[in-house]
Structure 1
Amino acid sequence: MNRIWQCVKKALPKAAKTCIWLLKIILPISLLVRLLQYSGLLAKISALLAPAFSFVGLPGETAIVFITSIFSPLYAPIALISSMSLGVREATILALMCLTSHNLMVESSVQAKTGSSFWGMTGLRFVMSFIIAFFLNQVMPHDGWGHVGTTESAAVCDSLLEVLVLWFTSSMKVLVSILLIVTVLMILHYVLDEFRLMKGLSTALSPMMKVFGLSENSAFLWLVGNVIGLAYGGAIMVEQMDNKQLTYSEGNLLNYHLAVCHSLLEDTIIFAAIGIPALWILGTRLFFAITVVWVRKGYSYIYTRRIERI
């Protein structure tokens, strides 16, 4: 118990710093959405972008969420989604788009250091976000869903004071949930590290790598990418590559998988907290991550055979 308590004491200060950082992201962005709703600008932007996003079953206003996700961590689009009134079906499609294409500049840079092309990974994630959205729009039932985020729009508020009250109350509900999740996950990371459970878990997961189309050597970095994430786990991934724990060819294949499916633990919990169905997140991300790797392996095999014939 003493070791666990030490993990908690180590985690709490970092969790507090992370929470302050999240406050700086979530509060301004959610306020901006409320003001855009109140001014009527969001409705005009939605009308302009509606034709493009209707192709994947989304209203035009969601384009703002997706564009924001490309340049920022996931907490920014979560704040935006929570400030809108979306059906669970639409929110799920949008969440999967953001999960695939978020924080691209940072995360693609990490992947560029572990065997892949920066622009290759960026392009793959951007294209896959629309492929996944199109797929979900075809297979998800249209009926029987509730709502995600607030059902109240600032567009119907009579004064700026009402907008501010609506913004504050809705933001606090989201923030409390996220702050609790972040703190628990931070403690979990320290516990896994203290008891050296990551290595044991990666050994147990090694056989699963074959199903994923990856080498068994990829198991540890797969776990790092899905428990800690690309941005925070980047240093570990680079170190493992430098120590030759994985070849660059194996690292490149792993990056194809992680481009579509990473931070599986944290991302799923956080989106589930605002009402997105966890099974749709998990199943969709794993399915397309596995598909991308096997398509890549098939392409490499065909290309190699052609070269040999020349």
Structure 2
Amino acid sequence: MSTLLRCRKEATALLGESLRVYWALLKVMVPALLAVKLLDMLGGTALLGKLLSPLMQLMGLPDSLGIVWATVLLTNIYTAMMVFLDIAAHETLTGAQITIMGTLLLLAHSLPVEGAVAKAAGVSWRLTLTLRIGGALVLGMLLHWFYAATGWLQTPGQVLWNPAASADTGVVGWLMDQVVTLLTIFPIILALLTLLKVLRWLGIERLIHALLFPVLRILGIGKDAANVTIIGVTLGLSYGAGILIREARSGQLQPRDIMLTLCFLGLCHSVIEDTLLVVLMGADLSGILWARLLFAVVVIGILARLPFMRRVGVTLPLTVKESFRGD
């Protein structure tokens, strides 16, 4: 009986957590979707696509996907996925293009929120934006050249999650499509959170820790900061940065470790949940997981050896100190 009660308690907690995540997403997604639709009706989509066209072309992507990246920069991956699905329903994209788009989404998303979190822990907005937007562009171009040169993923991609669109192409039809899609997001969140718990129970998180720990040490990230990095890599930037702020307050982490850790997490965080989410778009793991991991390691390895990183002092950054005033 105790086992049954424990299972019920775990299931109830999981359902409650899923509902909280879902509600938080809805509060962001619904206004963002309406804003994007209004932008489209006013001709803003075409204008934005034209403005981003040179960048999209550098990565072998059609102009229409510019609005997807613009959406994810300001909101989150779920919202950008919905915009992407609307475009993918009317345009044929190769597996390479979907993978490159998915990589852009993973490297540079939710910047107003995640940039503020990084700022609170001591990383400037300038560094965050340069690293994540610039990094996304560089990796996107590298993947485009690689896939084009090898001929890999050049066939039409397969979108794994594609809610059926209504026959009505007007505003009412669009609203119905969005309602259906929003409703289907909850079971996806529930499934992802369940999978995360199963992976934790199976020890997959510990395996990731064991694999990444030696790499982080090579990058010059200390032992204490490496443990926090693993948390951010598996659970997300906000979790990792939150713990970093707490550790910084206690004085257990050096400013250099804090900066390197946050820069690494900016390029590579929530590798389980976010990666599985983008897989539903039809993206290939070669780009959204393996290339992203390798790219993050190389970039942080270079960053750690730059002169300005050697001058990072032994005192906390001013932004970290300010974040604790009045506590």
TM-score (norm 1): 0.78
CA RMSD across the alignment:
3.7
Q: 1:50 aligns with which of 53, 74, 87?
A: 53
Match of 1:307 in 2: none
Contact 1:225-1:263 at 8 Å conserved across structures: yes
Contact 1:95-1:271 at 8 Å conserved across structures: yes
Which stretch of structure 1 is more off in the superposition, 31-40 or 72-81? 31-40
Pairwise CA distance, 1:289 = 0.8
Which stretch of structure 1 is more off in the superposition, 164-173 or 253-262? 164-173
Q: Matches of 2:254 and 2:194 in 1, distance apart? A: 34
The alignment status of 1:283 with 2:290, answered yes or no, reads yes
Match of 1:80 in 2: 83
Q: Percent identity?
A: 23
Q: What residue ranges of structure 2 are gaps of 5+ in the alignment? A: 312-327
The alignment status of 1:248 with 2:255, answered yes or no, reads yes
Which stretch of structure 1 is more off in the superposition, 21-30 or 284-293? 21-30
Contact 1:7-1:187 at 8 Å conserved across structures: no
Q: Matches of 1:45 and 1:104 in 2, distance apart? A: 18
CA 1:58–1:243 in 2, change beyond 3 Å: closer, same or farther?
Answer: same
The alignment status of 1:127 with 2:134, answered yes or no, reads yes
Pairwise CA distance, 1:17 = 2.0
The alignment status of 1:117 with 2:124, answered yes or no, reads yes
Match of 2:269 in 1: 262
Match of 2:319 in 1: none
Q: Matches of 1:48 and 1:157 in 2, distance apart? A: 30
CA 1:220–1:91 in 2, change beyond 3 Å: closer, same or farther?
Answer: same
Contact 1:15-1:182 at 8 Å conserved across structures: no
Which stretch of structure 1 is more off in the superposition, 3-12 or 254-263? 3-12
Contact 1:82-1:150 at 8 Å conserved across structures: yes
Contact 1:100-1:128 at 8 Å conserved across structures: yes
Q: Matches of 1:158 and 1:52 in 2, distance apart? A: 30
Match of 2:154 in 1: 143
Q: Give the 5 Å matches for 1:150-169.
A: 150=162, 159-169=170-180
Pairwise CA distance, 1:179 = 2.6
Q: Give the 5 Å matches for 1:209-248.
A: 209-248=216-255
Contact 2:28-2:75 at 8 Å conserved across structures: no
The one-letter code sitting in structure 2 at the alignment partner of 1:275 is G
Contact 2:303-2:309 at 8 Å conserved across structures: no
The alignment status of 1:71 with 2:74, answered yes or no, reads yes
Q: Give the 5 Å matches for 1:34-49.
A: 42-43=45-46, 45-47=48-50, 49=52
Contact 2:103-2:140 at 8 Å conserved across structures: yes
CA 1:243–1:144 in 2, change beyond 3 Å: closer, same or farther?
Answer: same
The alignment status of 1:59 with 2:70, answered yes or no, reads no
TM-score (norm 2): 0.75
Which stretch of structure 1 is more off in the superposition, 41-50 or 226-235? 41-50
Which stretch of structure 1 is more off in the superposition, 23-32 or 59-68? 23-32
The one-letter code sitting in structure 2 at the alignment partner of 1:180 is L
Q: Matches of 1:218 and 1:77 in 2, distance apart? A: 32
Q: What residue ranges of structure 1 are gaps of 5+ in the alignment? A: 305-310
Contact 1:92-1:276 at 8 Å conserved across structures: yes
